[in-house]
Structure 1
Amino acid sequence: MSSPKEPRDLSSKHQLLSLVEANPFISQQDLADQLGLSRSAVAGHLAQLTKEGRILGRAYVLPQRQPIVCLGGTNLDRKLRGLGELQMGSSNPARQHESPGGVARNIAENLARLGLPVHFLTAVGRDAAGQALLAQLQALGVDCAGCLQAADAPTGSYTAVLDPRGELLIALADMALTDRLDPMFLRQTAPHRAAARWVVADLNLSRQTLDELRAEARVRGQSLLLVAVSEPKMAHLGEDLRGVELLVLNRGELQALTGRKLGSESALRAAWRQLREAGLKRLVMSDGARGLRFSEGDEFATMAPPDLDPRSVREVTGAGDAMTAGIAAALHRDPDDLRAACALGLKLAALTLQSDATVSEALSPALLAPPV
């Protein structure tokens, strides 16, 4: 049986939540004055609302303003594109383009250019490259508090060799610094992830780090999106996928993870069932010029890419990261509609294919506007 006090308490909590929504930085004393309550009563209501997940943290962060936390690699991208057919074992004329890179870093920049709140956690050197990479993200509004800055190691690098059509021939990556994003780093930066609804991490992270992230997501009720970086690093993921809301990878990476040849529809569906039984909730597989595949219940649905004039394609680096960012951005707004998220992901990938930069400067908040 309800006590007479409960309806009044419920009304006060609703009024308090409305005031916080109007001004997330309002003080407890101002709340008490406007509601005609004692400050201790306000503190009690705030504690209860925080426990319920309806507000978050000291500044009373509301769920729709929660940041997306990106965690993983950062490096300097150097792309060398041959001006003619490349001859192995010989010097080849090429054009060079240099830009910020790293899977998690690229996703963070894409999200920031879409106007979303982003917190980025990574490791860089205390060298010119590392400081420039952090400064560039901060200028876009990305919160980089908590990033590891090493005095004894250089910032990571990624060098890609492309053919005249922009297709990747070989890439060389020095990502040793990412190994320092270990479980101890996770524990030290745990407060920076506390307010997040989505955590996006790349598989440059170690097996131990990913295990801890999955456990943290389960305890906190957060959505963890993992994105693959290469076939060899699929071994970082392990067999227990409980705590992973969404995994994004390509066909080769899915084959490496499941140990299956994926040349048929039945094999693809079996691969999805295998990962689902391991605890994975949802799956997206990019499939090159064929678009992508995504889980839809028991099925593994297909989505074709947007029509794109082949002559407009500059090169492929960063397109997969843009796709992942588009998916994360859409799910941040509507966590249940994976189909719409994939459509936005393909749209962002197409824009990136038409750019020399790893992250297209054509991205803007307008891309998140619902269709008229």
Structure 2
Amino acid sequence: MTEQPKKQQLLQLIRANPFISQQELATELGLSRSAVAGYIAGLIRERKLLGRAYVLPDRRPVVCMGAANLDRKLRSLAPLALHTSNPASQAESFGGVARNIAENLARLGTPVALLTAVGSDSSGAALLAHAESAGIATHGALRLEDAASGTYTAVLDANGDMVVALADMALYDRMTPAFVAAREAQLAASALVVADLNLPLDTVDALLAQARRSGVALVLVAVSEPKMARLPPALAGVRLLILNAGELAARVGRPLEDQAAIEAAMREVQAQGARDVVVTRGAAGVLLTQADGAIASLEALPAEVADVTGAGDAFAAAVCWSLVQDGGDDLVLACRRGLHLSKLTVGTLDTVHPGLGPDSLADADTMNTNFLEQL
């Protein structure tokens, strides 16, 4: 039998059982183990396999890098009064932008890995255990013996809108460029890298360099106006930057009074090297750049709001899911899916909608088809 059919048979066996040993492959194919090793080396060079463990290209994971916190939500039971005690209810859950995106992706059926930092405490152990139970790989996480795991405390008003949030996330400063270098093989073998701006500036810069080397698309997700200072001046290597209008204003260093000002700022960020920019505006919908240089506007979907926490992360997750599924060619569809998942999320008290599944975005696809038919 010629070499090419042998390679095809070997690929079929690996696809059926990604954990098959080289000796088992040799027995199945009637080859020596050294011959099988040679075929595997050739397939890795051709990128038909992605390194050890025979990772197949169509099952490459999305790697999410950044925060994984213990979230506390305090919700006022009446209109908030400042400078005094307010009756409230409390809930705890797992959060963090990168972690939330990873859980949304896992529930949507996407292979996903989480690169984060946790302390040697019960919160860190619980964070990683919960992630693993949701189908998120955590073997690359940084475990710190001398630090407490991250916490995020949100104060919500009686309507479920966030009034203020307090974040203890100093441990993510320990995720240095050396951490990126140590995980370079994992990043290079991914379908997409998503990073939040809880990471230090030089670490984000290292991710940009890694994206340029590997060709793996990089999505950056902003987390707050102060942490926009962690976004490097040059953005070559950024496939997509997702942020809100306030964060965009912080980036360009001026107030953005109207939509025309926002659009001008989006083009300015593109000129700094980002391929595309998406600006979320809450109930006003989203703005997104287009390949032809235009900026599209999408309206938010009507929703009954139970809790807005996690809505932005759900939006980002659906956009990333779409980029992986469709090759990133249709950012409008990606954002429609994002708006749909955001609507589902705000209708629950959970940071990540507990009922998500692989078909959860089907309604968004139907709405997009109907929209296109009306044009």
TM-score (norm 2): 0.90
Q: 2:356 aligns with which of 333, 350, 363?
A: 363
Q: Which moved more, 1:265-274 or 1:50-59?
A: 265-274
> How well do the aligned residues superpose, as a CA RMSD in angstroms?
2.1
Q: Which amino acid aligns with 1:345?
A: G
Aligned to 2:334: 341
Q: Which amino acid aligns with 1:319?
A: A
Q: 1:318 aligns with which of 287, 310, 313?
A: 310
- The answer to whether structure 1 residue 328 and structure 2 residue 328 are counterparts is no
Equivalences for 1:1-372 in 2 at 5 Å?
8-32=2-26, 34-35=28-29, 39-297=33-291, 298-308=293-303, 312-335=304-327, 336-368=329-361
How far 1:30 moved relative to its partner? Answer: 4.4
Unmatched segments (≥5 aa) in structure 1: 1-6
Q: Which amino acid aligns with 2:108?
A: L
Q: Distance in 1 between matches of 2:248 and 2:85?
A: 36
Unmatched segments (≥5 aa) in structure 2: 367-375
Q: Distance in 2 between matches of 1:14 and 1:332?
A: 25
Contact 2:204/2:230, CA 8 A, preserved across alignment: yes
Corresponding residue SS for 1:230: coil
How far 1:289 moved relative to its partner? Answer: 0.2
Q: Cα deviations across residues 311-365 of structure 1 (Å, max 9, x unaligned)?
A: x311211100111111111211112222221111111111111111211112112
Q: Distance in 2 between matches of 1:51 and 1:260?
A: 48
How far 1:272 moved relative to its partner? Answer: 2.4
Q: Distance in 1 between matches of 2:144 and 2:24?
A: 43
Corresponding residue SS for 1:152: coil
Q: Which amino acid aligns with 1:144?
A: T
User: Could you say if the C-alpha distance between residues 45 and 353 of structure 1 is closer, same or farther in structure 2, counting changes exceeding 3 Å?
Assistant: same
Q: Which amino acid aligns with 2:310?
A: G
Contact 1:69/1:121, CA 8 A, preserved across alignment: yes
Q: Distance in 1 between matches of 2:36 and 2:336?
A: 44
How far 1:18 moved relative to its partner? Answer: 3.6
How far 1:142 moved relative to its partner? Answer: 1.1
Q: Which moved more, 1:183-192 or 1:25-34?
A: 25-34
How far 1:16 moved relative to its partner? Answer: 3.6
Q: Distance in 1 between matches of 2:178 and 2:283?
A: 40
How far 1:9 moved relative to its partner? Answer: 4.0
Aligned to 2:369: none
How far 1:173 moved relative to its partner? Answer: 0.7
Q: Cα deviations across residues 201-248 of structure 1 (Å, max 9, x unaligned)?
A: 100001110111111111111111110000111111121111111111
Contact 2:341/2:361, CA 8 A, preserved across alignment: no
Q: Which moved more, 1:196-205 or 1:259-268?
A: 259-268
How far 1:299 moved relative to its partner? Answer: 1.3
User: Could you say if the C-alpha distance between residues 25 and 131 of structure 1 is closer, same or farther in structure 2, counting changes exceeding 3 Å?
Assistant: closer
Contact 1:28/1:43, CA 8 A, preserved across alignment: yes
Q: Distance in 2 between matches of 1:26 and 1:369?
A: 35
Q: How many pairs were matched up?
A: 363
User: Could you say if the C-alpha distance between residues 29 and 152 of structure 1 is closer, same or farther in structure 2, counting changes exceeding 3 Å?
Assistant: closer
Contact 1:66/1:197, CA 8 A, preserved across alignment: yes
Aligned to 1:4: none
Corresponding residue SS for 2:113: strand
Contact 1:268/1:300, CA 8 A, preserved across alignment: no
How far 1:10 moved relative to its partner? Answer: 4.2
